[in-house]
Amino acid sequence: MNLKPSFEWVIKWLQLELSLLWLMASLPSSFTILQNKYVDYPGDFILGALFPIHRRGSGNDVCGEIQLEDGVQLLEALLFTVDNINKNNAILPGIRLGVLALDTCDSGFIAMERSLDFVKGFISHYNEYHEREFHCDNGSPAKFMSGQFDRVIGVIGGQSSSVSIHVAGLLRLFKIPQISYMSTSPQLSDRERFPYFFRTVPSDVNEAAAIIDILRYFNWTYVAVVYSDSEYGVHCYEALRDFAANDSICFTTPQRVIRYQYQDSDYDQIIRTVVNKQNIRVIILILEKEFMIHVMNAARRLGVGSEYVWLGTDGWSSRESVVMGKEDILEGAIAIQPLVSHIRGFDDYFTGLTPEHTSLNPWWSEFWGKYFKCELSHESPTRNKSNIGDVEESVQDPPCSPDLRISELNGYSQQPFIHFVRDAAYAFAYALHNMHAELCGGVPGVCPEMHHIDGPHLIEYLKNVTFKDEDDNPFRFLNQGDGPTRYTIVNFQRDPSSLNYQWQKVGDYSIVCHDINNFFPLQWTSVRPEGKFELKIEDDRIRYRVSSGISEYPQSTCAKPCSIHQVKVRERDDTCCHICRDCGKFQIKHDDFHCDDCPLGQSPDSLHSTCNPIEEQYIDYLNPLAMAAMIFSGFGILLALFVLKVFWRYNDTPIIKAAGRELSYVLLFGIILSFSATFFIVAPPNQLSCGVVRFFLGFCPTLCYAAILTKTNRIARIFHKSGPSETKFISPSSQICIVAILTSVEVLINAVWIWISPPDSIFTFPDRGTKLRICKAKYIAFTNYCLLIIWLAFVPLYLTSTSNGIRVVTLAISLSLSGLVEMGCLFFPKIYIVLLKPEKNTKEVVMAPNRSSFATLSNSAPVASSNTPKVITSNGNYASSQHLSPEEILISNGSFSDPSC
């Protein structure tokens, strides 16, 4: 055969040959026998298939004994499915699918070596229908194995994730599509690394999410984890740990099983480490079947298995060999499996097979003999197990009876996951069907356009393939090439009637969707799909340990849950365990381990989850203290109005005139304003009430004392006058102007003050639990200190009081009391004479002699001889009484008489 390779193909061939030489050098000679065995089911298009017909070998043996559960039944499910497809004229009309199935012995290296046959056939077919790189001496295109493998369009398999990762890396180089039926590692969702890989099962990332939801459902927060160091175990545990970070679930001392190194003592140590944690009652097992068996055996040896709830994954829960002989330990176990379903008609097909089926399935006779523990007559009565890589010595089995048939009575049961093999076959079939409809126009048979199928062309159809699975659920590959996220929750329980143990379906975990058109457009992240997942568990069907009379599942928590206002403080010896600590009175829970202070003016709600504003406290009209102050002020206002009315009614009487009517009215107005200020002081603080209070605090006393000062100054100037000139500015209008000028200074100060620093209400916090709303009053003391007479007793009380109510009422009463004192000293005596002693309210009485004298006469003062009433001023001068008001008149002894004094 002459070779004329291009540079690209030279590189690929070198890679293949080097890999093949290395693999063959590492394999023992016993493996050559297995190389000659494969299933050849002819067809127009061939589906390559990889199944773990035999177990992984140990020691010098590459392959172990044949598997009764996994390999053969999976292979037969594919043959059954392909046969049904070929019989269905609605799919691939006039076209027949075939199968070439190889044994991987559950080993990634062997699977990759066996896959080289698919690669060589694919290259040979490419060489025939594209640029011819290789040809024989007679000019015909080069064929591999007489063209048997040339029609392979894709590969179904492998089963374990480690096998699929090896195979996918190889098939990627030659752009060969691959669909796995059981590999669940999250690594295989990497489309850049494995662009030609698909699978009919979901990723373990979703299985980890389902485990977290189950833990949350049963409120298991303190659990142990045992996982293998395989691709499956490590990545599933990492996903589990990442999801648990958002929950109050803690995995204490996770135990990692080192494959091919651990002995029985190592598995015993794993169990001891777990059981030393007193509060652990749940153990999660992320293990393949073979490691799960070792863990269960260790639990049995130590006599502790029946005390725990075993929570498993699909790696072991569906294998009968795992639970066989360990039923009492695993009773009550809960496991998560990709959607459990049964292929209709497969039971009849499988149980109807006879030893003659060996003509199609070369491993059938070996399976038959292992299943029935006998030897078929056409084989040697002594099975040399070294030929199949088994470490056992030669064993003599009895001849098989021709009447033997597989049935449920002798242990047969359809594996719950073989429908994923069916889905893989239908995915290829429908992808080819859609391609045929497009390229061949629906004409039956293989048209020239489909004589050669490129991998990149086929995967475009695989990406969009849609069909119904065995249970009429919609199926389509998701963005990462994964199968739909659908799981079945199973429970290992004992049947009270038959006393047999079995896995019983008790729930589901899937995306909430019922419409195929709405199901698939979901956007998926690199971790898990963004969609609503729902866990459904049928409580009436789940059982814990019926044989022990315990129906309720135990709790698995390190400590009692903390109260709503408490946080957890981790213990030093176990970071999963904690003690509870109360959050402070004014703190909320930030998370399970931290408290946060509420801002000033806020307090936590009853759940200590959020901070809410504290209700404002201020003196309002309904407050008892405010009501007392307003009653007192109202009484003062009424009293002032009564005085005003009396003064107005007796405006022209001597005693009222002697009191200085105009200034008295001004003073009364100031007193009424002082009493009225109380109603603004006790009002709810706002910009208006605060402004009025600030203005009145200065204006009211200023107006009152300006009137008193003007009146006193007028009298003083009259009695201390020197010379004959008249005293100026003593008329009523002048006195009003003087009061206005004095008061305007205060008005101007207040106006500037309010303009520079506008009044407003503020919040003050005497303590964390109190929020007071008061006026800005930092200048109150400045104003109050001006009232030196009455307010000296109230200022210390105002400043030292911590109660806002007392301070407000003190301020209000201070203004009211100031007005009351002014009325009492200046007006009540006159009111007494006007109302009760009217006989004294005459000009004669007012001008009568009085022993109390404001000024004495000078010895040298002349005596008036005129009949006109004269008075003598303090400096000895005469003045006519007609120009003076009564309070300015000096009576006979040089005294001014006011009957009200």
The answer to whether residue 262 sits within a structural domain is: yes
> Does residue 898 fall inside a structural domain?
no
**Residue 857 phi, psi dihedral angles, 5° rounding:** -75, 150
- Say yes or no: 694 and 818 in one domain: yes
User: Which residues are CB-contacts of 456 (< 8 A; sequence separation ≥ 6)?
Assistant: 175
Cα–Cα distance for residue pair 505/464, rounded to 1 Å: 32
Inter-residue contact 731 to 710 (CB < 8 Å)? no
Q: Please check whether residue 593 lies inside any domain of the structure.
A: yes
pLDDT band at 81 (very low <50, low <70, confident <90, very high): very high
Q: Is residue 774 helix, strand or coil?
A: strand
Does the structure show a pLDDT above 50 at 20? no
User: CB count, 10 Å around CB of 552?
Assistant: 7
Confidence (pLDDT) at 568 = 82
Which stretch, 454-463, 524-533, 548-557, has highest mean pLDDT?
Answer: 454-463
> Phi first, then psi: what are they for 165, rounded to 5°?
-65, -45
Cα pseudo-dihedral 5, 7, 11, 14, rounded to 10: 40
Distance CA 580, CA 590 (A): 15
Query: Rounded mean pLDDT of the chain?
Result: 76
CA distances (Å), 138 to each of 126, 132, 141, in order?
19, 14, 9
Examine the domain organization and report whether 155 and 289 are in the same domain. no
DSSP classification of residue 149: T
Confidence of residue 395 (pLDDT cuts 50, 70, 90): low
3-state secondary structure of 73: helix
Give the distance, in angstroms, between the CA of residue 613 and the centroid of all CA atoms in the same chain. Answer: 24
Q: Count how many residues are written for the chain.
A: 901
**Residue indicated by tokens 């008892």:** 624
Cα 86 from Cα 34, distance rounded (Å): 29
What is the DSSP secondary-structure string of 252-301? EEEEEE-TTT--HHHHHHHHHHHHTSTT--EEEEE--HHHHHHHHHHHHH
Q: Strand 474-475 to strand 467-468: parallel, antiparallel, or no bridges (unpaired)?
A: antiparallel
User: What pLDDT digit, counting tens, does each position of 184-220 carry?
Assistant: 888 888 888 999 999 999 888 888 889 999 999 998 9
Q: Percentage of the chain with pLDDT > 90?
A: 19
- What distance in Å separates the CA atoms of residue 19 and residue 258, rounded to the nearest whole number? 27
Distance, CA of 872 to CA of 895 (rounded, Å): 10
- Does the pLDDT of residue 82 top 90, yes or no? yes
- Alpha helix stretches (DSSP H) within 766-827: 780-784, 795-800, 804-826
Statement to judge: residues 159 and 55 lie in one domain: yes
pLDDT in tens, 408-424: 878 888 888 899 999 99
- CA–CA separation, 301 and 325 (whole Å): 13
CATH number at residue 274: 3.40.50.2300
Residue 368 has pLDDT above 70, yes or no: yes
- Interacting residues of 63 by C-beta distance below 8 A, sequence separation 6+: 31, 34, 54, 55, 56, 57, 103, 105, 107, 110, 388, 389
Same structural domain, 98 and 178: yes
DSSP letters along 194-207, please? -TTEEESS--HHHH
pLDDT attached to residue 344: 93
For 97, the enclosing helix (H) or strand (E) is strand 97-103
Question: Do 683 and 796 sit in the same domain of this protein?
Answer: yes
- The candidate with the shortest Cα–Cα distance to 693, out of 626, 754, 771, 621, is 754
pTM of the model: 0.60
Lowest mean pLDDT among 69-78, 105-114, 434-443, 810-819: 810-819
Contact in structure between 171 and 115 (CB atoms under 8 Å): yes
**Residue at 355 is within a domain:** no
* Closest residue by Cα to residue 162 from 81, 103, 108, 210: 108
Backbone angles phi, psi at 751, to 5 degrees: -65, -45
- Separation of CA 522 from chain center: 22
Helix, strand, coil distribution of the chain in percent, nearest 5: 45, 15, 40
Contact 214, 507 (CB under 8 A): no
Give dist(CA 437, CA 93) in Å, integer. 10
Q: Is 346 exposed, middle or buried (0-12, 13-18, 19+ CB in 10 A)?
A: buried
816 in Cβ contact with 681 (< 8 Å): no
Could you say which of 429, 451, 475 is where a domain stops? 475
User: At a CB cut-off of 8 Å and minimum separation 6, what does 83 contact?
Assistant: none
CA distance 859 to 202: 129
Number of domains comprising the chain: 6
Nearest alpha-carbon partner for 233 in 213, 215, 250, 257 = 257
What is the pLDDT, as a whole number, of residue 313? 82
Stretch among 270-284, 365-379, 482-496 having the lowest mean pLDDT: 365-379
Cβ atoms of residues 481 and 296 within 8 Å: no
The last residue of one of the domains, among 376, 402, 428, is: 402
Residue 819 belongs to a domain: yes
Give helix then strand counts, H and E, for the chain. Answer: 26, 32
Q: Where is 20: in which H helix or E strand?
A: helix 7-26
Strand-pairing partners, residue 509, are: 487, 535
Given pLDDT bands bounded at 50, 70 and 90, which one contains residue 304? Answer: confident
pLDDT at 811: 67
Residue 434 has pLDDT above 90, yes or no: yes
Q: Residue 799's pLDDT is what? A: 56
Highest mean pLDDT out of 204-218, 730-744, 875-889: 204-218
Which domain covers residue 32, as residue numbers?
2-201+417-475
Q: Tell me, yes or no, whether 439 lies in a domain.
A: yes
- Taken in order 848, 851, 852, 855, is the CA torsion positive or negative? positive
Q: Same domain, yes or no, for 537 and 573?
A: no
Helix (H) / strand (E) containing 349: helix 346-351
In this structure, the answer to whether residues 470 and 488 fall within a common structural domain is no
* Tokens found for residue 520: 């698939």
Exposure letters 193-222 (e unless 16+ CB within 10 A, then b) = ebebbbbbbbbbbbbbbbbbbbbeebebbb
332, 216: one domain: yes
Of 371, 402, 433, the residue at which a domain comes to its end is: 402
Residues 880, 865 share a domain: yes
Q: What is the mean pLDDT of residues 104-118?
A: 87
- The pLDDT assigned to 855 comes to 37
Q: Does residue 412 fall inside a structural domain?
A: no
Same domain assignment for residues 691 and 768:
yes
Lowest-pLDDT choice from 387-401, 403-417, 429-443, 811-825: 387-401
Pairing of β 334-338 and β 309-312 = parallel
* Residue 72 pLDDT exceeds 90: yes
The rounded distance, in Å, linking the Cα atoms of 885 and 548 is 118
- Residue 594 within a domain: yes
Q: What are the helix (H) ranges across 526-660? A: 624-649, 654-658
Predicted confidence at residue 224, as pLDDT, reads 92
What integer pLDDT is reported at residue 723 of this predicted model?
A: 61
Q: How confident is the model at residue 352 (pLDDT cuts 50, 70, 90)?
A: very high
Amino acid letter for position 120: K
Best CA proximity match to 379, nearest among 406, 360, 404, 400: 400
870 against 114, higher pLDDT: 114
| Residue 640 and residue 755 in one domain | yes
CA atoms within 13 A on the CB side of 644: 15
Backbone region of residue 253 per phi and psi (left: phi > 0; alpha: psi in -120 to 50; beta: other values): left
Pairing of strands 382-383, 334-338: unpaired
Q: Which residue has the tokens 């709503």?
A: 564
Question: How many Å from the N-terminal Cα to the C-terminal Cα in the chain?
Answer: 148
Spell out the alpha helix ranges (H) of 827-885: 828-836, 843-846
Gyration radius of the chain over CA positions: 53
d(CA 556, CA 501): 25
pLDDT at 885: 45
238-288: pLDDT as tens digits:
888 888 877 778 888 889 998 778 888 999 999 999 888 878 899 999 888
27 vs 172, more confident: 172
H or E stretch including 9? helix 7-26
Report the alpha-carbon distance of residue 814 to residue 791 in Å, rounded. 7
d(C-alpha 183, C-alpha 420), whole Å = 11
219 shares a domain with 195: no
Q: How many CB atoms lie within 10 A of CB 403?
A: 5
Cis, bond preceding 158 (omega within 30 deg of 0):
yes
pLDDT at 307 over 80: yes
Model confidence at 5: pLDDT above 80: no
Residue 288 backbone dihedrals phi, psi, to 5 degrees: -75, 170
Q: How far apart are CA 761 and CA 777, in angstroms?
A: 9
